[in-house]
Structures are given as structure tokens and as C-alpha cells.
Structure 1
């Protein structure tokens, strides 16, 4: 729920290329690379600590060959060197209650976790263009059978909420469900949890947002009058989780709030001169790495730095943000299903 998630653009249009928002993506890429490079350059204990912060899951090993094929980049005679490989990254925000800090921020002692937010981030070959597609958590899907840590398999399920995949099978099942829904191969996986997001906001000195209506949500523990507010980490998390306290109470409304919050967060990153403040820079690096779970292809500082550096050519004109097209589900008006053929055409465009 806490990395860049967007729905319709500011004018209410799907897929329109944006202005300042994509620029922030570029800034965020540089910031990630810079934070991790400095952490690595600190040497010794700092490098070990930041590297050891990152948790990982062997998704490729768990899924094997039972997944969409990986596209092979084409090379023309006029282009002797192959282009940079295109990448699809599944980014999840989890509402894990693991650990006392997450339970306190999550508002209770409930067990397990769900994927509160999901995005497919597609980086074109060359990394100078990107498409970010949000998948509403309330989307009803067919959840495929998924491998479990004990060596068994979960049962295939029909017409279940998208976020149930993470609940029953963790990152592996989340990836397999997205690949089943989209027929797009996920090259990497990145997850951030409650406490990590709150720590990141606090490390950056908070974020400033403007709300157009009063918010009073018992579930997210957030009460804000309409207006401009500077939020600390816990308040920002409450805003990201707010659903029933604003608009029609739908998941699509929450995605809109998350979009506004992430813009504010990225603007805060771009406005901070982190390199002139080593203490704050390390706090941000510690928050970033300490909150992440990745696949085994991104579970080191070196690999994360390489990913951040590869985004150096990503420009505002080359980034597109959309929400998967959906309509209310016939069986339950509080849920949604993919709107066809629009959703299939969107995933085909990524393939």
C-alpha cells in the first residue's frame, strides 16, 4: 500500500502521461540508488547491517517453469548490442501484523497478513519508459493452486478476492496469482510492511498533504479535518489505509488517497538534500532496507543499487500510471471484476 500506487490520472483519464508525478519516479530511483550506495560505501558494520536488513523469498525456485514465458528481446542488425532487459516487478504493500510494531500500527492482534496494495511496474527495455498498473485488492479472481512452505499445494479457488492469495500463500502465491490473472511474467518482487513505511516517512521528516474532505476512519485510526496537514509516519500510514472514512468507502477511493500520499512522499524525497545529512541518509537507508522483502534476485545492496541506477534515463514523458479496468461484480456490488476486453488488452500491451 505504500509504494507508488495510482489509478486514474489527475484529469480522471486512464493511461494519460503525467507531468510532475513521473518526474518523482525518476527522483525516487536516484534516491534509492544514492541511499544504498552511501550505505555500501560506509563499509564494515553499516554495509553488513543494511544488507542483512533485506528479507527475501525464492520465488523462482518455488514456481519453477509453471509460469508465463520470459520474453526474448529482439536485436536488429543496426543495434549490435542487445537493449537493457525489460522488467516486470510486482510491488506489494502488506498489512502484516508480525511483530509488536506492526500489530500496534495495524490496530490489533489479528494473525496473518494481506496484500493491502498491489502494482505491476513494467520497465521497458532501455529503462526510459515505465507503466505502473494498480490492481484493486477487492478484485474477484481465480486463485491458482500454489506451493506451500511445507511442500504441499493450496487448492484452486474461484471468485475470491485478489488479496487472499497473499493470505494463503504469501509472496509466492501472490506472484502466481498475478501471473495467472495477467499472463505477464513477474521478474522481481518487492514488498513493504506497516512499520517500514511509517519509519520511512519519519526518516524523511514527514509528508505534507491536502485533503479535500474531513476524514474520520475508526479502522485506520485517523481523524483529519479538510485542509493541509504535515503528517508523521503513523498518520501517513493511517491515510494510506483509510477507506471507509472518505468517499464511497470503496477500494478505488483508497487508491486515490494512496496516489496523493505517494506524490507527497516522492516530493519530500526530491526536496531533501540527503547527501548533505549523513545521519538522515543512513536513517532512510535503514528504513528502506529494513522494511523490504524481495525475491532472491534483489536481496542485496548491489542488486538494489543496480536497479536504481538503471532508472537514470526514466523521464516524465516516459512514465504512465493506470488502474486495471474494473466493473462492479455481478455477484457482489462491493467487489469488482476485470472489465473486458479492456483489462486483457492492457496486459497484452505489457507483454
Structure 2
């Protein structure tokens, strides 16, 4: 990937390597889900145009959240420059079948959220991971169960989802970035696993053994085709690689999503109509979207707009942060570098390499642990 191309960044020493706006585009917790699932949720539907009348059955699977009505006019200006911004999130509710991953503590929270910026022309993209333990200024939000939660100057990012679900998460990201989110996509534990299994697994190569009891992952060095359960374990792993921090886990997630996108591109969906329908059925049952995407026609149109973007066309970074002096279990954004990141996306420009210099977690402590096979 070239450093000076829009949305494309080269692998730098110390980083994990993996080969693997605003008018609508023509044509788309704790330890939980990763961007890999969120990308799969959209990309796996790329061949859906061949499903014909089956989309009527799939339409009833989708769940939508009316973000526009919930947030009203208190949002950043809608910049009409041909780019698109999507908030991708995972939820870690431990209810029902997700209970095997831990006790239900009264509500779901957000795992690492990611802002996907698709550049004008829809041939390149940048992804910005927001660590779940980032200290942010959270705006006033409507509570999921009714009532209002007042604005808080020092709040943990992933609490926004616990308080007000998708709408509060979008509002918090928009306040942080100054960028209006065009769309929202969310997946949970079980949905992630099902998508990976329906896809036939994701090939990766591990450069060292990864064994983490907490995430239930045990991989020897070498080539693997990860099942849904193994993939979920990988993207939840933090204690077995690097310094054991959430920032190392994010970089594992970023490596996995590149491998996932490569695998999606390599699968011949049209060659197996049954598999195509199974993937589409699983994806539509799995994702929660904003109401503008909550029909199969709109979701297919959205994903067709992403079909030209491969793993080599994506630059993935983590929001520049440092550990919080008041609480080493929290991170705080580096204001100058963070503004470089958000300004670049707002202007539909590449994220400068200087934006991540001096940030915690860069270069990666989990270097070369995972690559696509």
C-alpha cells in the first residue's frame, strides 16, 4: 500500500501486517467483537444481487435504528464531497447464547468501535479504531430505557452504548470527530461466529503461538483456517500477545480484518447459490443498521459501493492516544494528532503518518503475530 495514496498506508516496521460523504453511495462491553465482523456483515452481501426474489425473505431479517430521528439537528454539517463515513460497532451482550463468554452484568457495551471512511470514488478507505477505554467528553444522550443521561466531561467511550445504544454511540463519535456519520452497522458475538463459519473460515498465518485462556484460543505457529469460534477468540485476545493491552488487541483485530476482506474477495459466491443465500441470510439476521440501510435493496446498494476496495486499499490506524495519568487502565486522545486524523477524513484526504507518532501502541507490540495466508 502506498503512503501517499488516498486511504492507503504501507506496513511500517513494528506494525502487524496482513494481506488480507455524504450523499448516500450508489450502490451499503468488554471483550467482544471486532471490525472483522463488521466488515464481513457488509462485504458478504456483495453478490446478493443474484438472489432475485429471495430478497423479500431477507428483508424481514434486518433490524434498523432511526439515528436521524433520535439525534435530530444537533449534529455536524453534512459535507457533500462524495465520501462516506460509517460507524462500525460490536456489542458484547452476555444474554442468551452469548452467556458462555461471561456473566451478564446488566447490559451490553461496545467493543472497539471503528470509523470507516470511504473516499470519493469508493476505491480506497481508511479505518480509525477507537479504543473502548478512551476517556471522552460524552454528550447528553437519551437513555435506552427512557429518560436522559446528562453530558459528562470524563466518560469511558464504551459506556455510551450501554447508556443510549446506537444513537448515543453515534452522537459521541460525532462530538469527538466533528464528522457526521452517514451509516451505522453493528454485530454481536454469535453473529460474528456464524458469518465466519458460513464463509468457510478465514486463513491466517501466526508467527508465534497464541494461547489465551480468557479468549479460549490456542494456536500453534503456522497456517490456520480459523473457524468462527477461533476467529472470535483471536479478536478478543489481549493477554497472549504484545503488552497485554487493549491497544495490542486492536492491532490483532486490524490484521484479522485484512485477512477477512481478502478471503471474502476470494470466495466465488456466484459459483454456489446455496452458499450465497446462506451468507446473505446469516448477514441480514446478524446486523443492526441505521434505518436508511435497513432494507435489502439499500444494503445491497451500499455493499456494491464497497466492492472495489480490497485489503491493499485500506489504511487502518488507531486513534492516537496515551495512557491516562489519572488511571493507567484508561487512555486519553492526543489532541493535536487526533485532530490531524479527523481533519484528514473530514477533508477526504489520507491520514498523515505523523498523526500516529508518539501514540501508545505504535509501533505495535504485537508485530508480525498474524498475517493472512
Q: Same fold (TM over 0.5)?
A: yes
Say if 2:345 is the partner of 1:344.
no
- Alignment pair present for 1:323 and 2:335: no
The aligned counterpart of 2:24 is none
Report the equivalent of 1:96.
93
**Out of 279, 298, 304, which is 2:299 matched to?**
304
1:224 aligns with 2:219: yes
Q: CA deviation at 1:312?
A: 4.6
Residue 38 in structure 1 maps to residue 46 in structure 2: no
Residue in 1 aligned with 2:59? 51
Q: Which string of whole-angstrom CA distances, capped at 9 and with x for unpartnered residues, describes residues 222-256 of structure 1?
A: 22233332221111111111112322111111112
TM alignment of 1:161-176, pairs within 5 A: 161-176=156-171
CA shift in 2, pair 1:38/1:111, >3 Å: farther
How many angstroms apart in 2 are the aligned matches of 1:20 and 1:216? Answer: 23
| CA distance in structure 2 between the partners assigned to 1:287 and 1:103 by the alignment | 20
What is the CA distance between 1:201 and its match in structure 2? 0.8
Secondary structure of 1:276's aligned partner: coil
Indicate if the aligned counterparts of 1:57 and 1:296 stay in contact, CA closer than 8 A: yes
Residue in structure 2 matched with residue 291 of structure 1 by the alignment = 286
The answer (yes or no) to whether the contact 2:41–2:286 under 8 Å persists in 1 is: no
Q: Deviations over 1:12-60 (max 9, x none)?
A: 489xxx9955xxx9999775321x2233x1x2xx323311111111111
Aligned to 1:126: 121
Secondary structure of the residue aligned to 2:111 is strand
Which one of 225, 231, 236 corresponds to residue 231 of structure 2? 236
Q: Is the 8 A contact 2:64 2:289 kept in 1?
A: yes
Moved more, 222-231 or 246-255: 222-231
1:147 aligns with 2:160: no
Query: Retained in 2: the 8 A contact 1:240–1:258?
Result: yes
Question: Is this contact kept in 2: 1:63–1:147, CA < 8 A?
Answer: no
Root-mean-square deviation (CA, aligned residues, Å) is 2.7
Partner SS, residue 269 of structure 1: helix
Q: How far 1:328 sits from its partner (Å)?
A: 1.3
Alignment check: 8 A CA contact 1:30 1:311 kept: yes
| In structure 1, C-alpha distance between the alignment counterparts of 2:152 and 2:71, rounded to whole Å | 18
Q: Is the 8 A contact 1:217 1:223 kept in 2?
A: yes
Could you say which residue in structure 1 is the equivalent of 2:70?
A: 62
- The 8 Å contact of residues 139 and 337 in structure 1, kept in 2 or not, is answered as yes
Partner of 1:209: 204
Q: Which residue of 2 aligns with 1:82?
A: none
Structure 1 239/9 Cα, relative in aligned 2: closer, same or farther at 3 Å?
A: farther
Question: Does the 8 Å CA contact 2:43/2:303 hold for their aligned counterparts?
Answer: yes
- Paired with 1:254 and 1:316, the residues of 2 have a C-alpha distance of 19
Structure 2 distance, partners of 1:315, 1:341, is: 30
Q: Aligned with 2:162: secondary structure?
A: helix
Question: Partners of 2:123 and 2:204 in 1: how far apart?
Answer: 29
In structure 1, the partner of 2:349 is none
Note the C-alpha offset of 1:187: 1.0
CA contact (8 A) 1:136 1:324 kept: yes
Residues 30 and 236 from structure 1, CA distance in 2 versus in 1: closer, same or farther, beyond 3 angstroms? closer
Aligned residue pairs total 321
Looking at structure 2, the residues matched to 52 and 29 of structure 1 have their Cα atoms a distance apart, in angstroms, of 17
